[in-house]
Structure 1
Amino acid sequence: MAASKIIKKWNILPTEFSKNSINPLRLLWETQQPKGNPKLKEIHLQPGDPTLYGNFPPHPIIAKAISDAALNDKFSYVECLGSRIARQAVADYSQHMGKITADDIILTTGCSMAVEVAIRSLANPDENVLVPRPSWNYSTWIHGSGILAKYYNLNPEKEWEIDLEDLQNKIDKKTKAIIVNSPGNPCGNVFSKNHILDIIEIAEKNCLPIISDEIYEFFTIPSVKFYSFATLSKTVPVLVCSGLTKRFLTPGIRLDWVIVNDRGDKLKEIRKGFQNIAGRNFYPNSTVQHALPKILSEVPQSFFDKNNQMIHNNAKIVYDRLKNVPGLNPIMSKGAIYMLIGIKLEKFPNINSSLEFMQRLANEQSVFTFPSEVFNFPGFLRFVLTSHDEALVEACERLSKFCEKYYKDKTYETL
C-alpha cells in the first residue's frame, strides 16, 4: 500500500467573501483610531447610535411592549419572513406608501440585513448596483458577494442632491439596481419631491428597480418634508429598507424590514428568492416581533416631533458656530442625525487629507469624528448630532481653535 502524502504545514486561507466584506468604519476604528489629548475630556461624535449619550431615550411604550411580549412569548422560531402578525403591523404602519400587505414585508435582523436581502435578490456576482458617493458602507454587503459597486456622485453645492448626469452615465448592461438614501448618512440630505421624480425617471428609462434605504424615514428637521420613493413611483419597483433602528431610537433591538413596493408585478420572479435568502438566517427576534404591533401603533407623534426638533437645534448649533470659521464649510443638515463639515485643505498646507485632519484634531483637541474617506468622498468630517448640546458647543470651539492654529491664507500671503 502506497504511503499517503503528508501535509507538512497548515495552509488555511481566508475566503474571498471574508476578504472583500470590509466595513471601512470598523477598519478605521480598529487600525487608525487616535489616542486623544489626556489633558482634555474626550468628545466622541463618531458612532451613528442615537442612544449613546442618553439624551435621546426610546419611548417608555417600547420597553413596556417588549416586557409584556416577553411574558407571553414561547420563544419559538417564527416564519423566516417574520410572523404574519408582525408583518401586518409593518404593512399597516407603511400605508403612506400605498396599498401594502403582510405579503410585501420581509422582517430582518437589522437594516444592514434588509439592504443585503435587497441587493442579493437583484444582482448576481459580476453584475453591479449603483451606490451614492458619499454614503454609508453599502460596499460591505456588495463586494463580499462578488457584486460590483459603481459609485455615482452627490453634489455638496446642491445640498447633496444626486448628480443626475453622473448617475445616468454609470448605468451599463450589467447594472441591476440603484441604491438611494434619503434622509441620508453621512450627509444629512433629504431629497425634494421633484428631485425624487427625476431619479425615478432615470430608473424607469433604464428599467432598473430602486433600493431605497429609508432607515431615517420622517427623521427630518421641522421645515423639511420626507417623501418615500415608494409614494412617488408609479412604474418603477422600489424595495424600501427601514425599521425600528433609528426613528424609534432602538438600534440594539435589531428588528428592521424590507417593504416590496412592486409596480406592474415586475418583481414576480424576484419575490420567490426573498424567502430563500431570508431563510439563511435564524429569523428576527421573536419577542420584539410580538411587541411590534404595539410599538408601531402606540408611540405618539409627539415623541418623533420632539426628537426632530432636538436634532434641528443641534444642527443649528454646529452650523452657526462653524460657518464663519476660516477653512471650514459646513453643509446644513436637513435630516437623519449627521452633518458633513467641508475642509478647505488648500488652506491647511501642513495637513494632507481629511483623514490626517481628523487624526490631528483628535490627538490635540480630543474631538473624535469620522473623516469622509470612509464614505468614499474625501474632504469632510462627519459630525453626529445626537450628543448633548454643550458637548457640541465645546467640540465646535475646539475645532475652531484647531483651525486657527493651522489655517494659512496663501492668497493673502502672496500680496
Structure 2
Amino acid sequence: MSEVARIMEEWSCIYELRWLERRRLRSPSALESRNPIRELLESLNVPPSHGKEKISLAQGDPTVFGHLRAPQAAVDAMVAATESCMFNGYTHSAGSQECRMAVADYHSPSLPFKLSANDICITVGCSQAIQLCIAALATPGANMLLPRPGFPIYETFCKYYGVQCRYYDLIPDKDWEIDLDEVTILMDANTVAWIVCNPSNPCGSVYKYQHLAKIAAVAEKQRVPIISDEIYAEMVFGGNDFIPLASFSPKVPVLTVGGVSKRWLVPGWRLGWIIVADPKGILAKARVMEALMRLVQMTIGTSTLSQAAISGLLLHTPSEFYDDTLKSLKAGAELCYRRVQCITGLDCPTFPQGAMYIMVKINPGAFEGLSSDVEFASLLAEEESVLVLPGAAFGIANWIRVVFATPQNLLEEAWDRIELFCLRHSLQH
C-alpha cells in the first residue's frame, strides 16, 4: 500500500468514527430490547445428532407440523377477498368497520353488555395489541404487574416504554393461580396496569370463575385496570370453562388482547385485536382510547386481506373444527403428562387445562452436570436434537416449557429421547 493510500484509509477511519460519535446512530432502547423466546429460537442451529432429526417442542406455532390446519371457512374467505381485488388498499387505522364489527359481534354474547366497533382496535397480531396497551398506559414513573412465569414480551415492551416491571408469582401446586396477597403488596399509586394471561402461556392453566372474580375484586379495590391476554381464549380441554375477564368490566376496566393466530391456526395472518371493555367510561375519561387511536395511526393498520376474511373466519367456522383441534391438543397434553411421571428427575404438579403448553419441573440434584434449566435445554438439543425452552425465558428457574401441539408420533419420539437423555445423565444411573 502506498503512503498516500495509507493516509487516505487512516483519514477515512477517523472520519467514520467522528461521524458516529457526533450523530450517535443507534437507539439505546432498541439495543436493550430483548424477546428471549425469539432470541433463543432464531439463534439455534441444531444439526442432527447421531442421525436424529430435529424435533422442536419450543415454538408456540400450532401450524409448524402441518397436522393442524386452518378452517376451510377461513381459507374460502381469504380466497374470496383476494379474488375480489376490493381489499388491496388502506383502511381505517384501527381496522375496517366490517372487521371491527365482526370482532365485536363474536365476543358480545359472552359479556354482560354489547360491544360496538368503536370498542375494538385491530392490530398486527396479538403481540402488537400487547405493545399498544402498554404504550397507551405508560406514564412517567409508572409500574405494571407481570406474571412469573409469564410471556417475556410483556417485560420487553414495559422496559422499552420506561415502565417498571413488578412480578407476581403463579403457584404451581394450585393450578398456577395468582398469589393475590403478593399482588396487593406490589400495587401502589403508580401501578397503571395488571397483566393477566388466561389461558396461560407458559403454564397451560385456565382460571376458574371464583379465582377470576377475586382478581377483579382486587383490581377494583386498588383502582388498577387489567390487561387480559386471551390469545388462547376457548382453547380449553380440561374441567375449567374459559371465562373472559371482561365479564367483570362493570367492576374494573379491562383491555382484552386476542387474535386469530392460535384458535384458528393462522399465525401468519398477523391479525389481532384490543377490546376496550369500559362500560363506566373510566378509560375513556383518562383518554386511553384516544391514545390507542393515535398509536394505531402510526402503523396504518394490519393486512386488509386478513381483515376482509375475518367475518368468514369468526362467524362461519363450524364447531367440528374447534372440537377436532381441542381433541388433538388434549391428547398431546395427556401424553406429555403421562411421560413426565415416568422420568426420574422431572415432575409436573399440574395437568394443563388449555393452550398448548406444559411446564415441567427439573430437579437438578437428580442429574450429573446439569445444574440449571438452561444447561438441561442446551444439552438436550445438542445430544438428542429435541428443542424445549428453559424456564429462564419465562422468569422461573429449573423448569422447561414443552409445546404439545405436535403430531402424536413425533411427540412420543421426542419423549423417548428426553427419557434416554435423563437416564444418561441420572446420578442413579
Asked whether 1:103 is paired with 2:112, we answer no
User: Which letter maps to 1:57?
Assistant: R
Query: What does residue 80 of structure 1 align with?
Result: 93
Q: Which of 7, 28, 52 is 2:40 aligned to?
A: 28
Distance in 2, matches of 1:239 and 1:99, equals 15
Instruction: Judging by fraction of residues, say which structure has more helix.
Output: 2
Distance in 2, matches of 1:113 and 1:368, equals 26
- The answer (yes or no) to whether the contact 1:36–1:362 under 8 Å persists in 2 is no
Distance in 2, matches of 1:333 and 1:51, equals 20
Asked whether 1:220 is paired with 2:221, we answer no
Q: What secondary structure does 1:341 align onto?
A: strand
**Deviation string for 1:40-71 (max 9, x for gaps)?**
22211111100000111001111110110112
Query: What does residue 3 of structure 1 align with?
Result: none
- 1:252-263 paired onto structure 2 within 5 Å: 252-263=268-279
Distance in 2, matches of 1:283 and 1:169, equals 39
Distance in 2, matches of 1:239 and 1:55, equals 33
Query: What does residue 172 of structure 2 align with?
Result: 156
- The answer (yes or no) to whether the contact 2:362–2:399 under 8 Å persists in 1 is yes
| Higher deviation after alignment, 178-187 or 358-367 | 358-367
The structure-2 alpha-carbon separation of the partners of 1:266 and 1:394, relative to structure 1 and needing over 3 Å to count, comes to same
User: Which letter maps to 2:271?
Assistant: L
Q: What secondary structure does 1:260 align onto?
A: strand
Distance in 1, matches of 2:64 and 2:264, equals 14
Query: What does residue 68 of structure 2 align with?
Result: 56
Distance in 2, matches of 1:140 and 1:125, equals 17
Distance in 1, matches of 2:236 and 2:421, equals 31
- Give the TM-score normalised by structure 2: 0.91
Q: Could you tell me how far 1:125 is from its partner in structure 2?
A: 4.2
Asked whether 1:134 is paired with 2:149, we answer yes
Asked whether 1:244 is paired with 2:263, we answer no
**Structure 2 alignment gaps of length 5 or more:** 1-14
Asked whether 1:14 is paired with 2:33, we answer no
- The answer (yes or no) to whether the contact 2:92–2:301 under 8 Å persists in 1 is yes
Distance in 2, matches of 1:8 and 1:287, equals 46
Q: Which of 381, 385, 391 is 2:410 aligned to?
A: 391
User: Which letter maps to 1:87?
Assistant: R
Q: Could you tell me how far 1:343 is from its partner in structure 2?
A: 0.5
User: Which letter maps to 1:109?
Assistant: V
Distance in 1, matches of 2:73 and 2:387, equals 33
User: Which letter maps to 1:270?
Assistant: V
The structure-2 alpha-carbon separation of the partners of 1:139 and 1:8, relative to structure 1 and needing over 3 Å to count, comes to closer
**Structure 1 alignment gaps of length 5 or more:** 1-5
- 1:320-359 paired onto structure 2 within 5 Å: 320-330=338-348, 331-359=350-378
Q: Could you tell me how far 1:321 is from its partner in structure 2?
A: 1.4
Distance in 2, matches of 1:58 and 1:406, equals 41
Distance in 1, matches of 2:406 and 2:26, equals 39
Q: Could you tell me how far 1:36 is from its partner in structure 2?
A: 5.0
- 1:145-224 paired onto structure 2 within 5 Å: 145-224=161-240
Distance in 2, matches of 1:136 and 1:194, equals 24
Distance in 1, matches of 2:289 and 2:105, equals 20
| Higher deviation after alignment, 150-159 or 165-174 | 165-174
Q: Could you tell me how far 1:32 is from its partner in structure 2?
A: 6.0
Query: What does residue 82 of structure 2 align with?
Result: 70
User: Which letter maps to 2:149?
Assistant: P
